[in-house]
Amino acid sequence: MNKRRLKEKLIEWLFFVNGMIAVLVLVGIFILLVRNAFPGFKEVSFWEFLTTSRWNPDAYDKETYGFLAMLASTGMTTIGSLLIAVPLGVGTAAYLSDVASHRVREIAKPLIEILAGIPSVVIGFLGIVLVGPVLAKLTGTYNGLNAINGSILLAVMALPTIVSLSEDALNSVPRSYEEASLALGANKWQTVIKVKIPAAASGIIAACMLGMGRAIGETMTVLMATGNAPDFPQNLLSSVKTMTATIAIELGETAYFSTHFYMLFTVGLVLFIITFFINLISDIIFHKHMKMLK
C-alpha cells in the first residue's frame, strides 16, 4: 500500500473514532442522567412529578416535586421568544437574502454573528438593567423581571441561528424560481414572500426549531431576567422559574444523593430528551428540504 492511501485510511479512521466518541459521550450523558434520576422516584411518585405543579424541596413538613410549573415556565418563555424571533428572524433573512444591497449585507452579516457570540450573562445583565426597567414602566409591574423579559432576551439569542440558517435555506432555492417570479412583474419582496419562503419552508422550519432548542436550553439569561418565582405562571407578566434555572440555582446547594438532588437530575433528563428530539426533528426536516431541492 502506498503512502497516500495509508494517509487517507488513517484520516478516515480518525474521523470514525471522532464520530464514535461523540456518540459515546451522548449515550454516556444519557445513562448518567437516567441513573441519577431514577432513585428520586423511591420517595416521589412519578404521577406527582408529572401532574402537579408545586416544586418545593425546602418545605418544612413534606417536600413536593411537581414539575408542571417549571415546564409551563420554560414553555412560556420559549414560545414567547419564538413569537418574537420567528417573524423577526425570517423577515431579516428574507431582507438580507433578497432585498438588501450588497453593502448592507456585508455590514449586517458580521453584526449578526457578533450577536451570536455575546455571552449569555451579558444578555441577562441587559435584561436586568435595560429590558426590566422598561417593561416595569410600560406595564406598571414591580421590576420587570418576568416571563416576557426572558422571552425578549431569548429571542435575541435565538435570532442569529434563525436568521443565518433561514438565509441559507432561502439561498438554496433554485434561482429559476426567483427569475420566473421577477419576470412576471413581481417585486423583490413579493418574490421572497410568495415564492422563496414557501419553497424554503422546511429549511426555515428547521432553522426555527434549532432556535427553539437554543431557547429551551438557555440558562443564565432566564435565571437572571425572569425573577424565578416557583409558582405556576399566570400570564406573560408573571415571574417564572424555568427548568434550566431551577437546576442551576438549586443543584449547588442541595446535598448529594438526596431526593432533591435526584429530582433535579430528572428535570435535566426531561430537558435532555426535549432538546434531543427538537434537534433530531429539525435535522430530519432540514435533510428532507435539501433532498427536495435536488
Q: Are 56 and 230 in contact (CB under 8 A)?
A: yes
If you write DSSP's letter for every residue of 111-168 in order, what string do you get?
Answer: HHHHHHHS-HHHHHHHIIIIIHHHHHHHHT-SS--SHHHHHHHHHHHHHHHHHHHHHH
Report d(CA 240, CA 262) in Å as an integer. 22
Cell numbers for 241, please give them.
Answer: 422559574
Report d(CA 20, CA 26) in Å as an integer. 10
| Closest distance of CB 165 from another protein, Å | 21
Task: Kindly tell me which of 43 and 179 has the beta carbon lying closer to another protein.
Answer: 179
Angle (nearest 5°) at CA 69 between 66 and 71: 100
Task: Kindly tell me which of 196 and 241 has the beta carbon lying closer to another protein.
Answer: 196
Partnered with residue 258 across adjacent β-strands are: none
| Closest distance of CB 179 from another protein, Å | 7
Report d(CA 211, CA 160) in Å as an integer. 8
**By CB under 8 A, residue 181 contacts another protein:** yes
| Closest distance of CB 110 from another protein, Å | 19
For the chain, how many residues are written? 294
Identify residue 48 by its one-letter amino acid code.
E
| Closest distance of CB 199 from another protein, Å | 6
**By CB under 8 A, residue 100 contacts another protein:** no
| Closest distance of CB 55 from another protein, Å | 48
Task: Kindly tell me which of 79 and 186 has the beta carbon lying closer to another protein.
Answer: 186
Q: Which stretch binds another protein (CB under 8 A): 22-30, 65-73, 128-136, 185-193?
A: 185-193
Q: Are 83 and 151 in contact (CB under 8 A)?
A: yes
Q: Pick one of 24, 190, 276, 277: the residue that binds another protein (CB under 8 A).
A: 190
Cell numbers for 205, please give them.
Answer: 422550519
Report d(CA 189, CA 182) in Å as an integer. 10
Q: Pick one of 6, 184, 273, 284: the residue that binds another protein (CB under 8 A).
A: 184
Q: Which stretch binds another protein (CB under 8 A): 13-21, 192-200, 206-214, 217-225?
A: 192-200
Q: Pick one of 58, 61, 111, 176: the residue that binds another protein (CB under 8 A).
A: 176
Q: Which of residues 101-160 bind another protein (CB under 8 A)?
A: 102
| Closest distance of CB 173 from another protein, Å | 10
User: What does the binding site for another protein look like in residue numbers (CB under 8 A)?
Assistant: 102, 174, 176-187, 190, 194-195, 198-199
